[in-house]
Amino acid sequence: MRSLIPLLFALTALVASPLRAEDNPPAPRSDKDPLESVNRAIFEFNNDLDTYLLRPVARGYHFVMPDFAEQGVGNFFSNLYDANAAINALLQGRVGSAARVSGRFLVNSTLGVLGFFDVATRTGLTPYNTDFGHTLAIWGVPEGPYLMVPLLGPRTMRSGTGSVVDVYASPQSYIDNVRLRNSLYGLEIIDSRARLLDAEDLISGDRYIFVRDAYLQQREVLVNDGKVQDNFSDFGEDGLWEEEF
């Protein structure tokens, strides 16, 4: 069940990306997407899986869960990934970020009751958004081609490799009780998908191109610490956006 989580990255990218619904999708990025014909077929398979399985379940979950409970569940899983972020910050040589996010994990795991309450943010301990794909980029590993992976969703060669490492660097992987571990994975998938229901309205034009470019730009923002330089003139005069993490 853990392998289904990255399927949500396509919609997550729509939230984090500087792309806007009113923008026209740029021209195909043949340099980044040499396998476009194959990727499109896999995209349709993943989209059907989301349409007939994940989305209906997520809607039911969102309907029955009180807002405060849904927020608490989201906080719980975010707290678990703060542990992974701390490890990656250390691997990147960013000791200050590693210390801050480790403090977040400690505060939220204790005062925040296993992370259900985000106490750390109120004390000034802000999150550090990162993963092992980001770490590989800092180490100089090339991005590689864009890939649409069955069940896993959008990737690049670098981010896909990083995802494998992130799975084993996250606390959930070390829960011995198989039923509990798989239940957490399933709940995380449903909760994450429920949080992205509104993001579907952002998609415009060619869905495949929109999701692909949203994902690639979101990754570029991440590995460049909040800045992305795009080569397309469709998005402003200099194509430069800045985002805060």
pLDDT tens readout for residues 126-163: 999 999 999 999 999 999 999 999 988 899 999 999 99
Bridge partners, 229 (sequence order): 240
DSSP 3-state assignment of 76? helix
Residue type, 14: L
Could you tell me the residue range of the domain that residue 116 belongs to?
A: 2-242
DSSP 3-state assignment of 227? strand
Of the candidates 156, 109, 112, the one whose C-alpha atom is nearest the C-alpha of residue 137 is: 156
pLDDT tens readout for residues 5-18: 444 554 554 444 44
Q: Which helix (H) or strand (E) holds 149?
A: strand 146-149
Residue in the block written with tokens 């770490």: 135
Cβ neighbours, 10 Å, residue 23: 16
Of the candidates 32, 233, 15, the one whose C-alpha atom is nearest the C-alpha of residue 148 is: 32
Question: How far apart (Å, rounded) are the C-alpha atoms in residues 46 and 6?
Answer: 11
Alpha helices in 54-177 (DSSP H): 55-64, 67-91, 95-110, 119-122, 132-138, 157-169
pLDDT tens readout for residues 102-113: 999 999 999 999
More confident residue, 155 or 239: 155
Question: How far apart (Å, rounded) are the C-alpha atoms in residues 61 and 72?
Answer: 14
DSSP string, 12-30: HHHHHSS--TTSPPPPP-T
**Per-residue three-class SS string for 95-106:** HHHHHHHHHHHH
Our count of domains for the chain comes to 1
Confidence of residue 191 (pLDDT cuts 50, 70, 90): very high
CB 152 within 8 A of CB 160: yes
What secondary structure letter does DSSP report for 232?
Answer: -
Q: Is the pLDDT of residue 24 over 70?
A: no
pLDDT of residue 169: 86
pLDDT of residue 196: 87
Residue in the block written with tokens 């590693």: 98
Residue in the block written with tokens 């997520």: 58
Bridge partners, 148 (sequence order): 154
- pTM exceeds 0.85, yes or no: no
